[in-house]
Amino acid sequence: MSTIARGRHVRDPRHPVASLLVRGALTAVAVVVVVSLSAAAVLVRQLDGNIVAADVEALLEDRPTPEPEATEALNILVLGADRAEGEAVDLGSSVEQSRRADTTILVHLAADRDSATLVSIPRDSMVQGPACLLEDGTRTDAGLIQFNAAFEHGGVACTINTVEETTGVFIDHYVVVDYDGFLDIVDALGGVRVCLPEAVDDSFSGLDLPAGEQTVRGDQALAYVRARKIGDGSDLGRIERQQAFIASMVQQATSTGLLARPNRLISVLDAGTRSLTTDPGLASVTALASVARSVQALPADRVRFVTVPTEPWPQDENRVVWTPAADELWASIREDAPLPGSEPSAPPSPEPSPTQAPDPLTVSPAEITVDVVNAGARGGAAGDAATDLRIQGFTVGAILNGDEEVDGVRLVVPPGQEEAARTVLEAFPDAELVAATDGERIRVELGSGAPFVQEVPNRLGDEPLPQRTLPPDPGASPSLSVRAATDDICA
């Protein structure tokens, strides 16, 4: 495993709530890190002794190389799993008992620590699993598996190998939280507020709650995050509840003033550390605190929960497969880039100053003949553009398919056609102008992302341009469903 802070300077603490949240997806990880700011040395040693370290480095193979721009980002794989009392976490062994990672969340801390993304991986996902190396030297079989079977058959190491193989994301650290310890954390917090749209009486999970907002603790809290026989009964519905529950835990810790009440804080810290197994790089309060300090300034609304986009598996509707949108999600994690669809809109172009009015156009569309070329645009784009130009008085000489693809629109302007090009440019305001060495007609090349033709000021006639819309892209990925840590628990 790599070093924790990657050589970054930590920031002064300003928002401890954010650090509580980011610690993985379970407050077990989150609350531990605060101890470096408040606990005595004796308590630190006690809590260090609670954390179990398990080194899986020797079992990790064919690992991806972090992207250059993402070398200071941090990816922590958080696993929630059942474990009998006193049972060690499997490193990479063949397991006889039916243990599976019930919850898997990839926590991505941006290199600048300005955002954190918690990606839930559905346990029912069908993925291509690698041949994982086990401690005894044997290997699991490579091939199509249900995602959480990687933990059952090959332990933590195989789960990391599977995530890295299927996503290309390098995993820096891992944390396993057992559910018995999770119960202790919830109880130490005094319970956690949840919201149910309707009453639930599920004998399978033991969840028995009325509708509306209420506080859960103990077995009811565990049943709430694990139950699958409520709502639509899907793993995706369960993931939504888990994400809301994690956010509520942070809100609970904040509203009760946990940091200002040492007796409550110590009980939560003790419960949290007793539930953790991590790689050696995170297996101390000091190491966890180092991560915490690096995100102290992170506002809670910059912590977002995302589920890997899926669709039903054709062979079994109770299983899912990742959609093309998942590729975009993993690319954003690998490249430490904004989530797909979350990039801020470009600022509007400033209005021209009245004192800087453009020179009037000197060439009428009736005097201009253009060739229109499809150079990588959608099908039919050149024909649509030719129609819109003719409506305004332009003459279209030829409609062609180009040999070279361009971005947007490119106007190729022959010698002596500079003034005419100013008129054509009004129809394509953001076009790139390229001077040609010969020829008589302006060439309009439409590439990827080319806009529709605009109305020119000195157009002929008054027939309106058609109201055109882009056809749906069959390969387009649906937008991600993102939940912020500050969202209402009933949302």
Contact 87, 65 (CB under 8 A): no
Do 244 and 149 fall into the same domain? yes
Q: From 26, 307, 20, 23, select the one nearest 177 (Cα to Cα).
A: 26
Distance CA 294, CA 12 (A): 8
Do 261 and 407 fall into the same domain? no
More confident residue, 325 or 266: 325
- Please report the pLDDT score of residue 413 as a whole number: 95
- Please report the pLDDT score of residue 394 as a whole number: 96
102, part of any domain:
yes
491, part of any domain:
no
Tell me: pLDDT of 195 over 80: yes
Tell me: pLDDT of 415 over 90: yes
Do 323 and 375 fall into the same domain? no
Do 264 and 385 fall into the same domain? no
Contact 384, 468 (CB under 8 A): yes
User: How far is C-alpha 126 from the geometric centre of its chain's CA atoms?
Assistant: 19
As a whole number, mean pLDDT of residues 300-314 equals 87
148, part of any domain:
yes
Report the chain's mean pLDDT, rounded to a whole number: 78
- Please report the pLDDT score of residue 224 as a whole number: 84
DSSP 477: P
- Least-confidence region, from 243-252, 277-286, 365-374: 243-252
More confident residue, 297 or 217: 217
181, part of any domain:
yes
Residue 294: pLDDT band by 50, 70, 90 thresholds? confident
Do 74 and 170 fall into the same domain? yes
Number of structural domains the chain divides into: 2
- Please report the pLDDT score of residue 269 as a whole number: 67
- Please report the pLDDT score of residue 19 as a whole number: 42
- Please report the pLDDT score of residue 192 as a whole number: 85
Tell me: pLDDT of 422 over 90: yes
Tell me: pLDDT of 402 over 60: yes
Do 230 and 153 fall into the same domain? yes
Query: Per-residue pLDDT tens for 43-57?
Result: 566 666 677 888 898
- Least-confidence region, from 81-90, 265-274, 456-465: 81-90
Query: Per-residue pLDDT tens for 73-114?
Result: 899 998 887 654 334 444 554 333 334 567 899 999 998 888
DSSP string for 90-143: PSS---SS---EEEEEEEEE-TTSS-EEEEE--TTBEEEE---B-TTS-BPPPE
More confident residue, 373 or 225: 373
- Least-confidence region, from 5-19, 188-202, 274-288, 419-433: 5-19
456, part of any domain:
no
Do 371 and 252 fall into the same domain? no
Q: Residue 281 belongs to a domain with what CATH number?
A: 3.40.630.190
1, part of any domain:
no
2, part of any domain:
no
Residue linked to tokens 């054509």: 424
Surface-to-core class of residue 207, CB atoms within 10 Å of its CB (0-12 exposed, 13-18 middle, 19+ buried): buried
The CA–CA distances, whole Å, from 299 to 213, 376, 382, 443 equal 25, 42, 48, 51
- Please report the pLDDT score of residue 11 as a whole number: 39
348, part of any domain:
no
Do 251 and 380 fall into the same domain? no
- Please report the pLDDT score of residue 420 as a whole number: 95
Tell me: pLDDT of 284 over 90: no
State the residue range of the domain holding 302.
16-341+479-484
Do 69 and 154 fall into the same domain? yes
Do 297 and 407 fall into the same domain? no
Q: Residue 423 belongs to a domain with what CATH number?
A: 3.30.70.2390
Do 328 and 383 fall into the same domain? no
Tell me: pLDDT of 171 over 90: yes
- Please report the pLDDT score of residue 379 as a whole number: 81
Do 382 and 315 fall into the same domain? no
As a whole number, mean pLDDT of residues 459-473 equals 81
For residue 425 the two structure tokens come to 């440019």
